[in-house]
Amino acid sequence: MTNAMQVQPYIPAMKLFRSRKLRVEEASLPARPTLAQREAHAIDAQLASRAAAGDDSAFTTLVTRYQPAVFRWSLTFANDPDEAEDIAQEVFVRAHRRLSQYRSDGSLEAWFYAVTRRAANQMHRKAKRRTRLALSPGARPAREVYTTDPGGRVDRERATALIHEMFSNLPPRQREIFDLIDLQGLTPAEVADRTGMKPASVRANLFKARKSIRARFLATHPSYSELRK
């Protein structure tokens, strides 16, 4: 009787531990697709199948659906909008040749993102072999462009512009992760799946990107306390 009473208090603690572990495991699982997402996936799969079979109108429809997203992703990897246009054009050239490789059990959006990522990286490697002019400091905006704001304060619109400016100068990997999570709203798990990176690496790069942007912003505008949250 005495031994039973001694063991009794540990049972709720074990249940609490299992319950907490279950919640953590469930949180790490990808969210179930909504009805709208399933319908969009079905349309994408049908269009991709028709385009891969040579239906030009189906491919044109895919370009119309994904051009805004592809261009936005391209901007993440590019030095300027003109380069982003070149990357986006290369993406659709590759997509036209390789749509037969797309498997409809996966997301076409993720497939297009992977094509964009590879195209941008390959184009950058080729550009580095030809020239380093794109890395010239003269092509970058001046750091002190907003330091004379009255009272040392900036409004939210200008703060957003500053953050985007600082974002463009992050290292490529940090810039990509910051864009996918903080600007596009993906979860770290989704980003890990899309990029092939380990979740821990995704979180580490996101932390570094946020820390760098916050530090640069507050160094110029220390009174902008909202970014300290």
**pTM to 2 decimal places:** 0.55
* 206-227 residue pLDDT tens: 888 888 887 877 777 666 554 4
* 134-149 residue pLDDT tens: 444 444 444 444 444 4
pLDDT surpassing 60 at residue 86 = yes
How many angstroms separate the CA atoms of 99 and 109, rounded? 12
What domains appear along the chain, each with residue ranges and CATH number?
A: 36-135 (1.10.1740.10), 141-224 (1.10.10.10)
What crossing angle do the helices spanning 199-220 and 188-195 adopt, rounded to 10°? 110
